[in-house]
Amino acid sequence: MKIFHNSRCSKSRCGLQILEDSGQNFEIIDYLKNPLSEKEIKDLLKKLDFTPIQLIRKNEAIWKENYKNKTLSDAAIIKAMATYPKLIERPIVIKGDKAVIGRPPENINKLIE
């Protein structure tokens, strides 16, 4: 398992705690320090069964200032997430070919069970 984690986010810290308490092995990826490539984001979207816009944090200043109210292609949204990883929802937990957004953190339990 992997968790895409932002230590400054309370939901991300809760998600990390759920994984630690589960006793399962997992890898922590600080996606702000190690941004995902466009290909990695596409792979992640498949695992989540999401469209690109569903993975965007629409309340982020970067989104509001640069992208809000614009008509963007999926490719443009993916490029924005690769350029500004802060736009990506968090935390994200991956297990095999499945992934969940840890909002609420209890969603992570779907992958642990």
Using the structure block, give the residue that is written with the tokens 């990506």: 88
**14 an active-site residue?**
no
DSSP string, 71-90: ---HHHHHHHHHH-GGGB-S
Options 1, 5, 8, 9, the catalytic residue: 9
How far is Cα 69 from Cα 98, in angstroms, rounded to an integer? Answer: 31
Q: Which residues carry out catalysis? A: 9
